[in-house]
Amino acid sequence: MDRNTKKIVIAVDGFSSCGKSTMAKDLAKAIGYIYIDSGAMYRAVTLLALRRNLFLPDGQVDTEKLRTILPNIRITFTLNSEGRPETCLNGENVEKEIRGLEVSSHVSRIAALDFVRSELVRQQQLMGQEKGIIMDGRDIGTCVFPNAELKIFVVASAEIRAQRRYDELTAKGEKVQYEDILNNVQERDRIDTTRAVSPLRKADDAIELDNSHLTPEEQKEWLMEQFNRVIASL
Ligand code: DC
């Protein structure tokens, strides 16, 4: 069988701002797989909760109302003119909005709700039924696809991730302090790894990739080697 007929599931998990989605997207394009950004799905639910005023003044979520609307939420992905996936919420393209500060600062509350996780995990598993998929997130190798043929767990030091984020933002002309970004990265790590439901952890059979000192090219090459190795072993 050739590479195209043997389809696998690739799970990419890791800390925030590790470059997971860029690497997963690049690999998906190179091997003709579907790429799914599971974080975008949590962000889309958060956007809907914000629009429906489901965040209470004390910061808690109105879970009763969210439970009633959740079954009707449809999250899909569409390719833009450059071939990049964009997130749609009930048919509306919300890619830009879900990356904004408002959603970013509320999403961890939504991602900590077990009933939201079980619904999104169900939808993610359906997307992977036919294989030929790369999904990135925090619980893909542990919960969503525990039988994925290739699992990558990406790490990089908090300082390096903060520096990358700082460079990205200052290049866009934003005035930011490195210390603030570092604090934010460390706080997000703490929330991701200590939450009660599906905390971020490396699956026992995941391969760790520390990309602190890798160039994007070296990383691409490494990933392609892992993919080819798994395909050849099938
Ligand atoms: O990767 P991201 O920053 O877009 O993720 C947004 C939020 O969703 C973040 O709080 C982590 C959470 N998340 C999660 O809990 N499980 C996933 N599979 C993906 C993201």
* Residue 29 forms part of a structural domain: yes
Q: Which of 15, 13, 12, 17 is nearest to 189 (CA)?
A: 15
How many whole angstroms separate alpha carbon 29 and alpha carbon 124? 19
| 216 within a domain of the structure (yes/no) | yes
Confirm whether 63 is domain-assigned: yes
pLDDT (0 to 100) of residue 232: 95
The range of the structural domain enclosing residue 164 comes to 9-233
Provide the CATH number for the domain around residue 17. Answer: 3.40.50.300
Q: What does the pLDDT read at residue 4?
A: 53
Q: In what order do the strands lie in the sheet with 75-79?
A: 75-79, 85-89, 92-93
Q: pLDDT tens-digit profile of 25-72?
A: 999 999 999 999 999 999 999 999 999 999 999 889 999 999 999 999
Quote the CA–CA distance of 167 and 171 in Å, as a whole number: 6
Nearest to 132 by CA among 38, 203, 231: 231
**In the numeric block, which tokens belong to residue 32?**
């003709």
- Determine the distance separating the centroid of ligand 1 and the alpha carbon of 179, expressed in angstroms: 23
Q: Tell me the pLDDT tens digit for each residue of 77-89.
A: 999 998 889 999 9
Nearest to 18 by CA among 224, 170, 208, 160: 160
Note the pLDDT tens digit of each residue in 176-225.
999 999 998 999 899 899 999 999 999 999 999 999 999 989 999 999 99
pLDDT of residue 101 exceeding 90, the answer is no
pTM of the model: 0.94
Domain count, the chain: 1
**Ligand 1, CB within 6 Å, residue ranges:** 16, 38-39, 42-43, 107-108, 111, 137-140, 192
Q: With cut-offs at 50, 70 and 90, classify the pLDDT of residue 12.
A: very high
Ligand 1, atom 7, residue with closest C-alpha: 39
E strands within 127-205? 133-137, 150-155
Query: Which H or E run contains 96?
Result: helix 95-98
In a domain, 212, yes or no: yes
pLDDT of amino acid 5: 74
Check the CA dihedral 92-93-96-102 and report its sign: positive
The 10s digit of each residue's pLDDT in 53-64 is 999 998 899 999
- Ligand 1 pocket: which of 21, 107, 133 to mutate (most atoms within 8 A of CB): 107
In a domain, 4, yes or no: no
Give the pLDDT score at 205. 98
Phi, psi at 82, each rounded to 5°: -95, 10
| Whether pLDDT at 3 is above 70 | no
Q: For residues 149-155, give the mean pLDDT.
A: 98
Residue 1, pLDDT above cutoff 60: no
The verdict on residue 1 lying in a domain is: no
